[in-house]
């Protein structure tokens, strides 16, 4: 088969059901994201069983909406790319099963995409001129890691978090400060009104060798400070703003310091920052300032490509299809899976 033109992407690894049509891996024809914030808000976090049930209700409508916005019938599609992992298995299975069934009905190939490879591809969707090799910093609710993004080979892990992901730390700090779900955006909104120097929170590993991260100590430091100040009662708004700003400043400092370290000596000196936390304003500003100082290039996708979406899955899937990968009906979903892992059987075994 020649390279596919129109790829349908489907993403359902956590609490977003998303579908998108992308042309030749670069041009977003249509992208639809159905979030579930209202489903999980009463619980202050994602409830896996509720997430997968909502996906079952949404999947057909979301894929239909993406095709309608693209002005296409499903018969116009050349391939389906669907997130196969990592993520919540119940959630993943909904998008995966739908994607496989659609590909089977249309007689077109299906490929499984690693969710983090999808996030990395979002940078190339955002910047048409961006080409591997470059350094990718993935900052999301489940991942915090640096990769060397290579041409025609899976991304190479340079270092990742030893404990919590940075987005998870944002979400936990939101709960400690009694800020509304989802946590990341509400912490950064509160931080705008606060003093980032109010509390000198730790910057874990920032100056140390290696390219790993750690956020659990920072989260605990915030918990101790909240307890010390509030003693179980709600904090005044000014204190919430100061703690949010001080936490955000510490988390951002760590991300910038580790990225600078990864960029030192990298040729070409080029960085893409992707994942939900890449929508954070302070991170964008601080990283751009570091890029000017250290003379590296930095790409941030627009906020709607930072958080989970299916355009990035279609783009990453396109790259796999061009390399000849096809996964077929034996493709499964995986709660944990390394980024370069082979997914599904080769077509010869189908």
Which residues of this chain interact with ligand KG4, rule CB under 6 A?
Answer: 14, 140-142, 167, 170-171, 182-185, 188, 275-277, 279-280, 307-308
Residue 13 or 30 with smaller CB distance to ligand KG4: 13
Cα separation, 170 vs 163, in Å, equals 14
**Using CB under 5 A as the criterion, what x/- string covers residues 88-127 for binding Zn ion?**
----------------------------------------
Residue 70 or 144 with smaller CB distance to ligand KG4: 144
**Site for Zn ion, residues 130 to 169, rule: CB under 5 A:** 140
Helix (H, G, I), strand (E, B) or coil at 62: helix
- For position 11 contacting Zn ion by CB under 5 A, the verdict is no
Q: Which does 182 bind (CB under 5 to 8 A by kind): ligand KG4, Zn ion, none?
A: ligand KG4
Backbone angles phi, psi at 40, to 5 degrees: -100, -15
Cα separation, 170 vs 320, in Å, equals 33
Element (H, E) at 79: strand 79-85
Q: How far is the CB of 114 from ligand KG4 (least distance, A)?
A: 12
**Site for Zn ion, residues 264 to 323, rule: CB under 5 A:** 308
Cα separation, 328 vs 332, in Å, equals 10
Residue 100 or 282 with smaller CB distance to ligand KG4: 282
Pairing of strands 110-114, 79-85: parallel
Cα separation, 306 vs 285, in Å, equals 16
Residue 170 or 213 with smaller CB distance to ligand KG4: 170
Q: How far is the CB of 47 from ligand KG4 (least distance, A)?
A: 15
Residue 167 or 328 with smaller CB distance to ligand KG4: 167
* C-beta of residue 157 within 8 angstroms of C-beta of residue 175: no
Collect all residues with Cβ–Cβ distance below 8 Å to 236 and sequence separation of at least 6: none
Q: How far is the CB of 311 from ligand KG4 (least distance, A)?
A: 13
- For position 78 contacting Zn ion by CB under 5 A, the verdict is no
Q: Which does 4 bind (CB under 5 to 8 A by kind): ligand KG4, Zn ion, none?
A: none
Collect all residues with Cβ–Cβ distance below 8 Å to 308 and sequence separation of at least 6: 11, 13, 14, 16, 18, 33, 276
Q: Which does 184 bind (CB under 5 to 8 A by kind): Zn ion, ligand KG4, none?
A: ligand KG4
Residue holding tokens 């779900």? 181
Residue 6 or 28 with smaller CB distance to ligand KG4: 28
> Helices then strands (H, E): number in the chain?
11, 10
Residues that bind Zn ion (CB under 5 A): 140, 308
């Amino acid at each position: 088969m020649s390279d596919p033109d129109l790829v349908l992407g489907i993403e359902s690894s956590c609490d977003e059901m998303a579908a998108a049509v992308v042309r030749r891996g670069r041009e977003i024809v249509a992208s639809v994201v159905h979030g579930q914030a209202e489903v999980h808000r009463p619980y202050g976090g994602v409830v896996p069983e509720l997430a997968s049930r909502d996906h079952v209700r949404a999947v057909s409508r979301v894929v239909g909406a993406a095709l309608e916005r693209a002005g296409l019938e499903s018969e116009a599609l050349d391939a389906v790319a669907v997130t196969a992992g990592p993520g919540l298995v119940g959630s993943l299975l909904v998008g995966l099963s739908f994607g496989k069934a659609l590909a089977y009905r249309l007689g077109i190939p299906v490929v499984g995409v690693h969710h983090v490879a999808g996030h990395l591809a979002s940078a190339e969707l955002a910047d048409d001129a961006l080409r591997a090799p470059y350094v990718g910093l993935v900052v999301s609710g489940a991942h915090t890691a640096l990769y060397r993004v290579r041409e025609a080979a899976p991304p190479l892990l340079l270092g990742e978090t030893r404990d919590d992901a940075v987005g998870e730390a944002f979400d936990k700090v939101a709960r400690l400060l009694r800020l509304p779900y989802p946590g990341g955006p509400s912490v950064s909104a509160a931080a705008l009104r606060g003093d980032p120097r109010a509390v000198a929170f730790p910057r874990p590993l920032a100056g140390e060798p290696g390219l790993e991260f750690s956020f659990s100590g920072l989260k605990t430091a915030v918990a101790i400070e909240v307890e010390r100040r509030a003693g179980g009662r709600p904090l005044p708004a000014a204190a919430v703003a100061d703690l949010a700003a001080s936490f955000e400043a510490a988390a951002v400092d760590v991300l910038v310091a580790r990225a600078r370290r990864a960029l030192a000596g990298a040729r070409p000196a080029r960085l893409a920052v992707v994942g939900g936390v890449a929508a954070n304003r302070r991170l964008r500003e601080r990283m751009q300032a570091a890029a000017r100082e250290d003379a590296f290039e930095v790409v941030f996708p627009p906020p709607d490509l930072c958080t989970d979406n299916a355009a990035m899955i279609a783009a990453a899937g396109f790259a796999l299809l061009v390399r000849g990968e096809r996964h077929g009906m034996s493709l499964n979903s995986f709660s944990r899976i390394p980024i370069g892992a082979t997914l599904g059987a080769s077509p010869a075994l189908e």
